[in-house]
Structure 1
Amino acid sequence: MQAAQSTVHGRETDSRKAGWLQHKHFPLHIHIATLFIALTLAFGLALGWFNYQNNAQILLSASRQAFEQINQELISDLRTKRVQTAGSINLLVHTQLVTARNLKGFPC
């Protein structure tokens, strides 16, 4: 089969090559495979972004709850320590230790 000669920009070229460069046609299975890969990639990216957003929201919520729980426990512990310290100081006020000049008469 003879290919027809044509001129493109002043050069003679094979008409099959010129047609191929000007208008590319790929087989249907290439189109289907490309579409499948593109859709799979798009679905994967969308699913990844959705999971990222949900995981970030869950982690922020869990960290807020943990922070609040630690805060409440710390406040409760400090109140308990303050009450215990105040009770110990009140007991010491009523002993002779307050007026003592040294610890010779007290058991250690």
Structure 2
Amino acid sequence: MTDPEDEPLADWAARRERDRAEQRQKLGKRRVVPLSEGARASHIAPDAPRLLLEWNGTGWTTCGVAANADAAREFLGHVPEPEAGHDAPPSWPGLGPGRGRHRKP
């Protein structure tokens, strides 16, 4: 990168606009805000309704209301994992089948 004093203003402005556009993409286009009083964490009040907001390029606009935290996660694009049956063994990361010295019998 060149010295900021040597960089032309037009180049700096273009680079700044690119960086700001990338940052906006990272922040996301959708937001969920709980409508209940108190803490905003989803695990505190999972059955409380949520306000669904979407970024239109200049500000947040209301899209609707989700009935609970699960419906809000679907709006954000988070797909819930299927629940494993009671017969399925827990999945431990990095451990394959078999018995080793480091595993309990």
TM-score between the two structures when normalised by the length of structure 2: 0.24
Structure scoring higher RCO (CA < 8 A, sep ≥ 6) equals 2
Q: As a proportion of its length, which structure holds more helix?
A: 1
Q: As a proportion of its length, which structure holds more strand?
A: 2
Structure ID, larger Rg: 1
TM-score between the two structures when normalised by the length of structure 1: 0.24
